[in-house]
Structure 1
């Protein structure tokens, strides 16, 4: 909880420095910022629950892999954005590859923690929610940068309030002690998500959401190259599915 709060505060602190250089969002943009803050709060809560209930290697890919499918469906319903047929194929292939990594090709399904699965699926719903909110809000805002800066500041302020409510003032010395880690992770996470929001102003939301999940492919490659884990058949199948999904999205 404190680690995620620290990262969120780091994002907000850096974004606070940018506020004098970006426009204040108009009234029609603020509902999207408020909705996104709520969705991000739910995302963090359910993600922490998933980590506590189950194996990170299964819960995280499950949460991330199902989110693009939900975002695609939500985009069709909420913003009337229907991806091209080939793009839909790409989204499905990307999600399928991610889910193969989560379920390890079907091995050890009997060990699957259903409580962790529930938290992971709940996490994916909140991911889809803030993705649609931020994609729509960034398009309405003057620039993606102005939307992102105000979102990060508001999200950080609310995260700090929740931290004080649930952990009390005793959490403040811990956050102050590790402020450098918060700024470092906040800069990286904030920059990555700013790129996502900017991309959603240029391309379909569902396609950007799906491409965002290719990061899990790089995590798997690091585990194989740096940590010496085996490149099993199910991992190879996942890689092929994700790469095919990227190609389909590009062609679509």
Structure 2
């Protein structure tokens, strides 16, 4: 992984932790999530204008990715209704690189060296500690919601990373995916939460625009990085967002961070450094 890709993914991680803290800190998690998804659309339109049309062979990945993103957003929203950012976020985000590594090695013919595998193993250890903490301190519902969120993250990471390579344009692929994602979310909300549309006017347009732009850019960078480096490695490095989320949780949301949780975060940080040294 080149220094440029490494730095870009770290920037993506910070942006991602930022918009997640916006959702967690909102009184209405469903309203905050919906407003961010809708705010993707103006940025996505710009991305479409600046990019070539994705190859038709990537259309299946585009459709599958949009469905997985909706599932991820709905489960993430529900997770934050039941648990702290510092508990839900590390478990949901940290689970995906471990699952992606297993699938990449077994089915995608991806090879990783010893240091890279060690890095992911260390990250997985930190995640396991976070999972244990979440299980002890939260009810089973929050744990299962976070776990399901992590599975959706794994799914869309593999689908989107592969789709972007086939599409021949990372930005174009994700821009079209964001539009379709927003359409599907509107349909879902119209069926199950029609009153949410009237409440959108209570959301600050500036906050929604910042959250939407940050969320869009965060993932657009990751999809581009997946065309430049192994998806498993990009996913593992991107989960350094856990470190940023912990800092935001402690100093912005004023959540209590235990020694056990800090040890888990330290292991994740060590894994992130190793992932950079391993290539």
* TM-score bin, normalised by smaller chain: 0.7 to 0.9
Answering whether residue 71 of structure 2 is matched by residue 42 of structure 1, we say yes
Answering whether residue 92 of structure 2 is matched by residue 63 of structure 1, we say yes
Task: Pick from 157, 171, 175 the counterpart of residue 200 of structure 2.
Answer: 175
Shift of 1:150: 1.0
Answering whether residue 156 of structure 2 is matched by residue 130 of structure 1, we say yes
CA contact (8 A) 2:89 2:242 kept: no
CA distance in 2, matches of 1:55, 1:251: 32
Residue 192 of structure 1 aligns with which residue? 218
Alignment of 1:159-174 (within 5 A): 159-168=185-194, 170-174=195-199
Residues 88-108 of structure 1: CA distance to partner in whole angstroms, max 9, x if unpaired? Answer: 11112123224434544xxx8
CA contact (8 A) 2:122 2:271 kept: yes
Number of aligned residue pairs: give it.
248
Answering whether residue 236 of structure 2 is matched by residue 210 of structure 1, we say yes
- After superposition, the Cα gap between the structure-2 partners of 1:186 and 1:223, relative to the gap in structure 1 and judged at 3 Å, is closer
Alignment of 1:93-112 (within 5 A): 93-101=122-130, 103-104=132-133, 110-112=136-138
CA distance in 2, matches of 1:185, 1:48: 15
CA distance in 2, matches of 1:184, 1:167: 24
Structure 2 unaligned segments of length 5 or more: list them.
Answer: 1-29
CA distance in 1, matches of 2:184, 2:259: 44
Residue 52 of structure 1 aligns with which residue? 81
CA contact (8 A) 2:95 2:150 kept: yes
Residue 19 of structure 2 aligns with which residue? none
Residue 25 of structure 2 aligns with which residue? none
Question: How much is the aligned-residue C-alpha RMSD, in angstroms?
Answer: 2.4
Q: Could you say which structure has the larger radius of gyration?
A: 1
Structure 1 unaligned segments of length 5 or more: list them.
Answer: none
Task: Pick from 173, 179, 192 the counterpart of residue 147 of structure 1.
Answer: 173
Shift of 1:34: 0.8
Alignment of 1:225-236 (within 5 A): 233-236=259-262
CA distance in 1, matches of 2:247, 2:201: 35
TM-score, normalization: structure 2?
A: 0.79
Residue 113 of structure 2 aligns with which residue? 84
CA distance in 1, matches of 2:144, 2:264: 23
- After superposition, the Cα gap between the structure-2 partners of 1:238 and 1:191, relative to the gap in structure 1 and judged at 3 Å, is same
